[in-house]
Chain A
Amino acid sequence: MELVTVREDVWGREVMLGVSWDLLWVVLALTGAAIILHLLIMAFLSKAPRPSAEGAQLERHAGIDRGFHWIMAISVFVLLFTGVLPIVGVNFDWLTIHWVAGLILTGTVVFHVLRAIFWQRPKDMWVAGRDLREPFDESQKPGKYSLAQKGMHNAMTVLVLLVIGTGIALFAVMDTPWWTRSNALDEATLGWMFMLHGASTLGLIGLTALHVYFAVRPEKRFYTRSMISGWISEDEHKSNHDPGRWSPDQST
């Protein structure tokens, strides 16, 4: 199996066309296998008592951030489905939906980055040295975000920026309401753009699947709730986080 597809350019030279979409099935299989493995491991591990959702509600996500998350989630799903379904043979008029969703995603990401830099503490999201002890030391509890959450976020950040960056580059070679396509990218560069766009898409498919899986796992479901309603309970806070590193306000 090839990792990338290769074609001849206008002058008969070999040029990369993009990622090989056979890899889609590999990614789906690997992700599925990872989830099954996790399910099995979790089934064998002793179940810790769940913290209570009752009691005081502490703010985890401001409304604006939750809005951002869900807009982003929807646009990513739209992008994934519009991008991938035609490849697997489901034909429909996908391109306009795809780039409009891409623009929405780009807008929300820009907004999020600016907000995180100027109004939030971006450090909260970056993996620090002590976070690495978390998996090996029961007593090490995270601040606002766990190592897994930070890792997921950081990986997502890289892939989303990559997919957005290459997506914007590809915009130059298609007609839009604002401009007609240019020859700005030669065929070899175009191939690289498609390859990176496709590769980051494959990464996003895997990560998104894992993300959704963890979001619906019973012991993590309160995080999902917090992404909807904004709060976690004091008990949930206490048993999952180090109050010394993160002490949220009462939810309003």
Chain B
Amino acid sequence: MNRMHIGKDFIPPDIHGKVTGKAKYAEDYAVDGMVYARLYTSPMPHARVKNIDAEAALAMEGVVGILTADDVYPTEAPAPALLTNEPVYVGDPILAVAAVDEKTAEDALKKIRVDLEPLPFVVDPVDSLRPKGASARLEGNIYPREMREMRWAGSDVERFVSGQEPTGPAPTEWSYGDLEAGFDNAEVVLEESFVTTGYAHMSMEPRSVLSYWQNGKCHVYGSTQSQSFVVPFLARMLGIEQKDLVFIAEYCGGGFGSKISAYPVLALPGYFSRKIGRPVMLRITREEEYYVGSARVGFQGWIKAGFTKTGRVSAVDLYIVQDLGPKQAGGDASSAGGAVSILYQPDAMRLRDVPVLTNTTPRGPQRGPGQNQIAAVFEPMMDKAAQALGLDPLDMRRLNAPDSSATLNANQGPITSAYMEEALLKGAELFNWSERIKRAGQRNGSKVTGVGVGQGYHSAGASGYDGLVRLTPDGKLHLHSGVGNLGTYSYASTTRAAAELLKVNWDNCVLHYGNTEEHLPWSSYQAGSNTTFTHTRANHVAAEDLLNKMKRIAAEALGGDPGNYDVADERVFDTRNAARGLTYAEVAARAVSLGGEYSGESYPEDIHEVTQRAVQGLAGSGLIGVGKDKLPVRGTVPGLTVGFAEIELDLETGKHEIIDFLAVAECGTVVHPQGLAGQLRGGAVWGIGMASLERHVYDPQNGLPASVGYYQTKPPSYLDVPTSTEWTAVDIADPDNPVGARGVGEPAMGSATAAILCALSSALGGHLFNRTPVTPDLIVNHVSGQGQSFDPMAINSF
């Protein structure tokens, strides 16, 4: 198909600012009279605030005020609190102090006496499940959507920590198919216990926020992944109406799931500013970002999988203890089960889940929450099964690969489309798999070659959101994007679906985004890899509305039936006489004079309140195209990826080098090649981090975190990743998206993690470590035959 925009690269409007350094992130703003807030956070993993004595601090010159939990909205456990009188992890914000400069604020913190009573705490979920284990919160120790207490018998704990089949009760369970029959049909049955570390999101931009009040409106400059989606939540947190919130998040220096919507800190300066009557800047430090910035849910689990003689996955029994941290979280286990159900299409499956609270950093969704942890577990198992059955690991994956008839989750629901085998084959050819796999295990001095393939999945599309486009009398097409600028460029690339339909040159398009005052429509959360699918649809719907209105205006002005009109070269014309037509500028001018639905004086009732306000704000400025996406969608929208890796592992040092890495995307039609490349490469870097580097460490004796800086947490450095990461895409259109696109951001990480772990395993003759990260110490210990320093289920193993 000959397209103007879809599948073509372009320069998103935020690029120039990023390259030149002129981009303004939240903490780059300054307003008159601004004061600086600083947080006083809990030094204890769990405590009760008995008294706060801030007298000395408030008496200091330059100190403007203090904000405590009593000043902000109340919360019920385990909802995240803005400020708290019952801190539940080291670093939990108790109060904030504001001063004329940051140094004074920091000095003031030293003078504040907070009297804390220590409460029982726990940093390892399994410790909380022990018969006399501590509960992370006063209200309980598990959160299966409600706070409860649950303990296992001592024997259950012992079995679990030694890696045997769990016998402890699990509060959540789902299943489908006949599990027993599935294992009976299996030629090979594998049982493995596993641990995946729940490490920090580490957004490069800490979540700094500036807020002030002006004429009854609260202005918030923040760092969020989403834009419009944040508005209702933040307004509710601030206790104001949505119309009274001005929210600016033009740039976001990384979120990875930790800044999807309104997080507590985002509302803090608003409260503080209201209390002290001054604009408040809260700059979050790197260390604080490790506290309030959240982390991935950690898994300790056990899995049993059956494989038939031909290599089909016949049954999977999955048991996961989730580390939720101290607050609301916990979709990861179910998502992990979902990923297994779609990627391997097992005949029968059961998932049991024990969501346990701990006094560690709050957890939240992190790039492929659940799917990517389980990729690190199941993919190496696939290799082990392949080895046992004498199959090629790639063939084994092809055999189980989901196609468009695939089903997933407990309800075995349908999907829109899937072409995983095509992805595997395309990658295998480009990577030269059949030759490379022969090199696996080859020794060269102390080095041995490893080759691995890994798969990733995430549901990658939603529907029901709004689109808003506008044609102005100057002939410009204004694309109003409520999508957040989380770094994927989808805020811009999805609007190109509208430009495509309306056949407008990109030069004549004006993008509006990043600020509620730009009149932005209601948009989905920029998470779950959904934006590309969701908002190409919404933009298409809005463009369709605009197109129809143009035709009607033209027909009214020039005669004939609107159905006889078409558009090209930014003109709407009569197909029977192309000379008869109006330029887009003329149509827009007519729309303004026509009023009504044309110029946004009226609008469909089913659009969201946020979109309604946006249209109201734009009314009379041009021809408005607006609509809610009600296009059909037949099922879950899968985002699928495959990673191929060749590594060289040094058996003496435990270090490995990634020789080559290839990422393959199966995400329908490619909308924005450079954006996709960024996702696949970035996903690979994240995958490398998860597979072999990034960690989260707590001292169980006092609940102190070790990982509060880049150095301790160890995200990959530029010499830990391959110098170039190749990528390709299957590029087969999805039937439920007007441009054929699906999302893909998250699985790109899981498939990379899996590929690296599989490659490590292949270098070691099939040995599975069953944990992430696989660090040099694990390898050196394994190769030397001396065993690891800790039990199979141990977390905090550094």
- Which of A's residues lie within 8 Å of B, judged by CB? 10-13, 183
Contacts and interface: CB of A to CB of B under 8 A. Distances in A.
Contacts of A11: 43-44, 116, 118, 702
A183 B701 contact: yes
B86 to A, nearest CB: 15
B704 interface: yes
Contacts of A12: 43-44
A117 B702 CA distance: 46
Contacts of A13: 116
A183 B701 CA distance: 9
A21 to B, nearest CB: 26
Nearest to B90: A11
B537 to A, nearest CB: 52
Contacts of B116: 11, 13
A47 B118 CA distance: 67
Contacts, number: 11
Given A11-B116, A11-B118, A13-B116, 8 more contacts: A10-B702, A10-B704, A11-B43, A11-B44, A11-B702, A12-B43, A12-B44, A183-B701
Closest 5 pairs (CB-CB, A-B): A12-B43, A10-B702, A11-B44, A11-B43, A183-B701
Dominant SS among interface residues on chain B: loop
A67 B738 CA distance: 101
Contacts of B44: 11-12
Contacts of A10: 702, 704
A13 B44 CA distance: 10
A51 B118 CA distance: 68
A10 B118 CA distance: 12
A12 to B, nearest CB: 4
SS class, residues of chain A in contact with chain B: loop
Interface string B318-358: 00000000000000000000000000000000000000000
B57 to A, nearest CB: 16
B127 to A, nearest CB: 15
Interface in B23-69: 43-44
Nearest to A8: B43
11 contacts: A10-B702, A10-B704, A11-B43, A11-B44, A11-B116, A11-B118, A11-B702, A12-B43, A12-B44, A13-B116, A183-B701
A10 B704 CA distance: 8
A13 B43 CA distance: 9
A184 to B, nearest CB: 12
B789 to A, nearest CB: 14
Most buried by A among B43, B118, B701, B704: B43
B169 to A, nearest CB: 32
Nearest to B44: A11
Interface in B688-726: 701-702, 704
Contacts of B704: 10
Interface string B655-673: 0000000000000000000
Contacts of B701: 183
Nearest to A10: B702
A13 B116 CA distance: 9
Nearest to B703: A11
A13 B115 CA distance: 9
A12 B703 CA distance: 13
Nearest to A187: B702
A5 B701 CA distance: 24
A15 to B, nearest CB: 13
A146 B78 CA distance: 72
Contacts of B118: 11
Nearest to B118: A11
Nearest to B701: A183
A12 B44 CA distance: 8
B176 to A, nearest CB: 48
A190 to B, nearest CB: 14
A183 B44 CA distance: 18
A183 B118 CA distance: 18
Interface in B98-136: 116, 118
A10 B705 CA distance: 12
A10 B90 CA distance: 11
Contacts of B43: 11-12
A13 B42 CA distance: 12
A192 to B, nearest CB: 19
B792 to A, nearest CB: 23
A11 B46 CA distance: 11
A11 B116 CA distance: 10
Nearest to B704: A10
A54 to B, nearest CB: 69
A11 B702 CA distance: 8
B203 to A, nearest CB: 27
A48 B567 CA distance: 131
Q: Select the residue from A11, A12, A13, A183 with max chain B CB neighbours within 10 A.
A: A11
B119 to A, nearest CB: 12
A34 to B, nearest CB: 42
B191 to A, nearest CB: 35
A183 to B, nearest CB: 6
Contacts of A183: 701
B401 to A, nearest CB: 52
Nearest to B45: A11
Nearest to A12: B43
A247 to B, nearest CB: 62
A141 to B, nearest CB: 61
Nearest to B702: A10
Nearest to B47: A11
B570 to A, nearest CB: 66
A12 B112 CA distance: 12
A183 B43 CA distance: 20
B345 to A, nearest CB: 50
A13 B701 CA distance: 16
B359 to A, nearest CB: 12
A231 B90 CA distance: 68
A183 B702 CA distance: 11
A13 B117 CA distance: 10
A11 B43 CA distance: 5
A209 B616 CA distance: 93
A11 B44 CA distance: 6
A252 to B, nearest CB: 61
B13 to A, nearest CB: 47
A213 to B, nearest CB: 48
A10 B116 CA distance: 13
B39 to A, nearest CB: 14
A124 B704 CA distance: 56
A50 B116 CA distance: 68
A173 to B, nearest CB: 13
Interface in B496-534: none
A96 B352 CA distance: 54
A13 B118 CA distance: 11
A207 B8 CA distance: 90
A7 B419 CA distance: 63
A58 to B, nearest CB: 61
A49 B118 CA distance: 70
A213 B702 CA distance: 49
B50 to A, nearest CB: 12
A34 B766 CA distance: 79
A110 B43 CA distance: 44
A11 B115 CA distance: 12
A11 B41 CA distance: 11
B95 to A, nearest CB: 14
Nearest to A183: B701
B92 to A, nearest CB: 13
A183 B699 CA distance: 13
Nearest to B115: A13
A12 B701 CA distance: 15
Interface in B204-253: none
B43 to A, nearest CB: 4
A12 B116 CA distance: 10
A11 B359 CA distance: 14
Contacts of B702: 10-11
B685 to A, nearest CB: 35
A185 to B, nearest CB: 13
